[in-house]
Amino acid sequence: MKKWSTYKDQLMVALITAMIAPEVLADTQLQLTNISGTSGAGSADFTTWVTKITTYFQSGLNLVLVFFAFSGIVLCGTSVKKVYDANKDNREPPKIAVIGIFVGAAMTIIPVIIGILRNSATPS
């Protein structure tokens, strides 16, 4: 039982270190020693806070769009392979794989359309 407790503690420390280290290294915007543009009490003004939140939200949205595009490519490729295997073995056509091709293509094209609209549309 003592061995399990020791391993469990070591595992928890390793997981916490693994999760915290990339966040600290990647977070270059939030620096507690940088208090320029503040109200004097060490807290940033409201516009800086909103700008940071908007930046984080945009990064999260970009991550979701990349995930959708990658998932669509994988789904489309897997479905094409299933259709190819079904045709090679002279089986009946797999309807689910054909539907997977369309869904995968839609999942891939949505981030592309959003990226084009985001980069080319101008606010009026």
pLDDT tens-digit profile of 49-89?
888 888 888 888 888 888 989 999 999 999 999 988 888 88
Question: Partners of 38 in the beta sheet?
Answer: 44
Q: Rounded distance, CA 51 to CA 60, Å?
A: 14
114 CB-contact burial (10 Å; exposed 0-12 / middle 13-18 / buried 19+): middle
The string of DSSP letters for 77-106 reads HHHHHHHHHHHHTT----HHHHHHHHHHHH
Query: Is pLDDT of 10 > 80?
Result: no
pLDDT at 87: 85
Cβ atoms of residues 24 and 13 within 8 Å: no
